[in-house]
Amino acid sequence: MGENFPLESQVTEGKTILVVPANSIKTKIPPRAPAFYNSLASLSRDISVIFCRAHTHMISREPTMLDTFAGVGARGVRVANEVPRMNTVELNDVNSVALDFASRSASANGVSMRCIFTNQEARSLLVSHCRRDKQYDFVDIDPFGTPAFYIDCAVGAVVNGGFLSLTATDTPVLCGLYPRVALRRYGGLPLRTGYCHELGLRLLVSAVARACMQHDLGLRCLFVHNTRHYMRVYLQILKGSIDSDRTLEQIGYLNHCPDCLYREVSTEVTSRCECGTNKIQRAGPLWVGAIYNEMTLRSMLEEASGNSRKAVLTLLQRALGELNLPIGYYLPDQMADHLELPSPPPRRVIEELEKRGFKAARSALNPMGIKTNADPRTFSQMIKDYASEMKISGDRSDRRDKIHY
Ligand SMILES: [Zn+2]
């Protein structure tokens, strides 16, 4: 540092002061030089803090965390400052200018003693921590683009029962826009469907599961979330062949009909759907087990309530609401467009499905998505019934519903 240190600004995220490059908060797309800071990703860091707060008590020793791609330290310094039980956070980045910002942020919050700064290539650092006495309790992987290059090294750097969180920003790949790239990076095929974000997250989890199984490790998926720009997963790594075998049981395929939207987890390869089409598409291999852990969600909600923004609470509550519902969700507005009919608002969809004896909930992964155990035929019939009802009631209909949509 010195006279040539880049212009800096101070921002507050959560309860933490962050010293960031001045140019990163003046432009819509923050530049990578001199160091990258994206204020739009603060929700992801809020969730990291809540996740760590909810899980540090599960660690029997003094918990440690590695923020592998720390950048200016937004995540790592926040965890050091806002998670009282976290003993040490190691902030690593290849960009030494970014680490200077991180160090200044740590000082601004009085947590320098709990932070270690390292300036290493990510994979070398992870591999050097695969020895049992050097492993971390929490490892975070948040690179530019795909995390695929780091997965194998990362699973080895997590202690038995510890936690691994990963961010992927190659969402077009995970959502099925480039299936060959997805197959290379993640070992499975995604699908371009209305519920592609859930399938993309499941593909990401399965890539980590595969790396775990190669090392006789098991994996439990505790929490996932996504925005337009990134997908993020929180996993627990478990040592031993029994957990590894259980992990293998959670890997499967999904058959999807693009015509009637029928979907099911299946080991059978088929092209024919009951609706008569022979265009069945197949996604996978991907994670077909649970993507949320109830205890994790409840602990995170407890940590979040009272001092978190509404978006975080909504996300956690919706995740809780969709526990035990099948893979995939429906998008009523898209289905109604396809049928050239008006779309019922989400709350109405849920009421109608419940009236017909099905379970239904808002998806945490898509604000317009509805998770349900109803089949697509019931779902489309419900939209048709709604349209008939609207036609009959005419101008006397609920105007709020119409305006909403
Ligand atoms: Zn079909």
Cα(first)–Cα(last) distance of the chain, in Å?
54
Q: 17-26, 83-92, 142-151: lowest mean pLDDT where?
A: 17-26
Q: How far is the CA of 254 from the centre of ligand 1 (A)?
A: 14
Cα of 285 vs centre of ligand 1, distance in Å, is: 21
Residue holding tokens 């609470």?
Answer: 313
Are the C-beta atoms of 243 and 236 separated by less than 8 Å?
no
Looking at residue 299, what is its pLDDT?
A: 97
Domain ranges of the chain: 8-294, 295-404
Residue-wise pLDDT for 241-283, tens only, equals 999 999 999 999 999 999 889 999 988 888 899 888 999 999 9
pTM comes to 0.93
Quote the CA–CA distance of 291 and 288 in Å, as a whole number.
Answer: 8
Residue 393, pLDDT score: 64
Does 295-404 carry CATH code 3.30.56.70?
A: yes
Segment 178-195 mean pLDDT: 97
Contact 193, 185 (CB under 8 A): no
Give the per-residue pLDDT at 203.
98
Q: Which of 23-37, 159-173, 213-227, 313-327 has the lowest mean pLDDT?
A: 23-37
pLDDT digits (tens, 9 = 90+) for 335-394: 888 888 888 999 999 999 999 999 999 999 999 999 999 998 898 899 898 888 877 665
Q: What spacing in Å lies between the alpha carbon of 231 and ligand 1's midpoint?
A: 29
Q: What is the DSSP string of 301-361?
A: HHHHTTTS-HHHHHHHHHHHHTTTPPS--B-HHHHHHHHTSPPPPHHHHHHHHHHTT--EE
Q: Angle CA(200)–CA(151)–CA(146) in degrees, nearest 5?
A: 50
Q: Is 265 exposed, middle or buried (0-12, 13-18, 19+ CB in 10 A)?
A: middle
Could you tell me the distance, in angstroms and rounded to a whole number, from the CA of residue 329 to the centre of ligand 1? 16
Q: Which two tokens stand for residue 285?
A: 């291999």
Query: Taking 80 as the threshold, does the pLDDT of residue 403 lie above it?
Result: no
Nearest to 312 by CA among 373, 227, 392: 227
* CATH number assigned to the domain covering 8-294: 3.40.50.150
pLDDT at res. 394: 55
Which of the four pLDDT bands, split at 50, 70 and 90, describes residue 4?
Answer: low
Confidence at residue 401, expressed as pLDDT on a 0 to 100 scale:
33
Residue 327 Cα to ligand 1 midpoint, Å, equals 16
> What is residue 95's DSSP assignment?
-
